[in-house]
Amino acid sequence: MWRRVASLSPLVSSSKSRILNQVGCGLNACQVFTTRVLNPAEGGVSDRRRNPFVTFVLGGPGSGKGTQCTKIVETFGLTHLSAGDLLRKEISSNSENGSMILNTIKEGKIVPSEVTVKLIKKAIETSENDRFLIDGFPRSEENRIAYERVIGAEPDIVLFFDCPEQEMVKRVLNRNQGRIDDNIDTVKERLKVFAELNLPVIKHYSKKGKLYKIDGTGSEDEIFERVRPVFAALR
Ligand SMILES: Nc1ncnc2c1ncn2[C@@H]1O[C@H](COP(=O)(O)OP(=O)(O)OP(=O)(O)O)[C@@H](O)[C@H]1O
Ligand SMILES: Nc1ccn([C@H]2C[C@H](O)[C@@H](COP(=O)(O)O)O2)c(=O)n1
Ligand SMILES: [Mg+2]
């Protein structure tokens, strides 16, 4: 059973990034919707474990996905699964795909979906939680289709942090966490990949009425105040 939360629709930001203007993404028509999992009358814990509540968290490099996920976890208790972190763990654990993943990340490209979806599936299955933030995934239509095929479900909602390119570049170059892809050449490539491959995914979920577009400018706390009502309404 699905419930519509109509009061949230004004929260969708009306600002447009340069990239979105370029591709003519009609994101302002975003609809906000629903949850099926947080109403105890609608299913027991085991039902929820089999059919978890999934939020995809999207946005360009440095748009603040990881930062906002940390705040959502602290306030609302979802489990944060960062696709990038899962891939970086594969590199450091010397897995058979480690060197391929390392080279792909260095080049600012996208790792084959088969690899990433397998890591996400395992992380979901081994978690005690039934509500997830999947950060930085899907990065392409190929990622999206592979996830939906393997997991057998669509996400419940999708957050998109909309941030100007100049601000994203500034944040990435100041990040200082020793990431191999935090350099100007890789960032330029990641921005290109974002526009070419990730924006179609965002557009797809916008058309399906699943997208919350969040203005990703301002302080971390200001941005979180735009995110908070999305999850508060699902409680
Ligand atoms: N609102 C903000 N204002 C200024 N700096 C910010 C803001 N939000 C995050 N940052 C900083 O910008 C950098 C990038 O943020 P974050 O890692 O959350 O982005 P991301 O979207 O996860 O990027 P990536 O896709 O590269 O993983 C970090 O150093 C973070 O501390
Ligand atoms: N779905 C994904 C997510 C990430 N990657 C690779 C390529 C990214 O540039 C890199 C870092 O990800 P981030 O931490 O910025 O989310 O990881 C990918 O190939 N596919
Ligand atoms: Mg991140």
Domain ranges, ordered by start, for the chain: 20-26+53-232
Q: What is the pLDDT of residues 83-121, one digit of tens each?
A: 999 999 999 999 999 999 999 999 999 999 999 999 999
For residue 17, pLDDT over 70 is answered with: no
Please indicate whether residue 152 or residue 46 has the higher confidence score (pLDDT). 152
The pLDDT value recorded for residue 50 is: 76
Structural tokens at position 32: 């906000």
Using the mean position of ligand 2's atoms as its centre, give its distance from the Cα of residue 214 in Å: 20
Please indicate whether residue 94 or residue 33 has the higher confidence score (pLDDT). 94
For residue 212, pLDDT over 60 is answered with: yes
For residues 162-167, average pLDDT: 98
The pLDDT value recorded for residue 47 is: 64
Asked if residue 149 belongs to a known ligand binding site, the reply is: no
Which residues, judged by CB distance below 6 Å to any ligand atom, belong to the binding site of ligand 1?
59, 61-67, 84, 136, 171-172, 175, 219-220, 223
For residue 16, pLDDT over 50 is answered with: no
- d(CA 223, CA 235) in angstroms, rounded, equals 20
Closest CA to 87 of 114, 65, 67, 68: 114
108 Cβ below 6 A of ligand 2: yes
Ligand in nearest proximity to the CA of 118: 2
The pLDDT value recorded for residue 3 is: 27
Ligand in nearest proximity to the CA of 137: 2
Lowest-confidence pick of 36-50, 103-117, 160-174:
36-50
For residue 80, pLDDT over 60 is answered with: yes
For residue 25, pLDDT over 50 is answered with: no
Q: In Å, how far from its chain's centre is CA 37?
A: 19
């509500």: which residue's tokens? 131
Using the mean position of ligand 3's atoms as its centre, give its distance from the Cα of residue 172 in Å: 10
Asked if residue 62 belongs to a known ligand binding site, the reply is: yes
For residue 59, pLDDT over 70 is answered with: yes
Asked if residue 153 lies in contact with residue 54, where contact means CB atoms within 8 angstroms, the answer is yes
Asked if residue 120 lies in contact with residue 134, where contact means CB atoms within 8 angstroms, the answer is yes
Which band of pLDDT confidence, cut at 50, 70 and 90, is reported for residue 67?
very high
- So what's the ipTM on this one? 0.99
How open is the CA angle 89-93-94, to the nearest 5 degrees? 120
Percent of the chain surpassing pLDDT 70: 79
Using the mean position of ligand 1's atoms as its centre, give its distance from the Cα of residue 62 in Å: 4
Closest CA to 59 of 166, 165, 178, 204: 165
Using the mean position of ligand 2's atoms as its centre, give its distance from the Cα of residue 137 in Å: 8
CATH code reported for the domain at 20-26+53-232: 3.40.50.300
The pLDDT value recorded for residue 49 is: 67
- d(CA 221, CA 183) in angstroms, rounded, equals 26
Q: Mean pLDDT for the chain?
A: 85
- d(CA 152, CA 97) in angstroms, rounded, equals 25
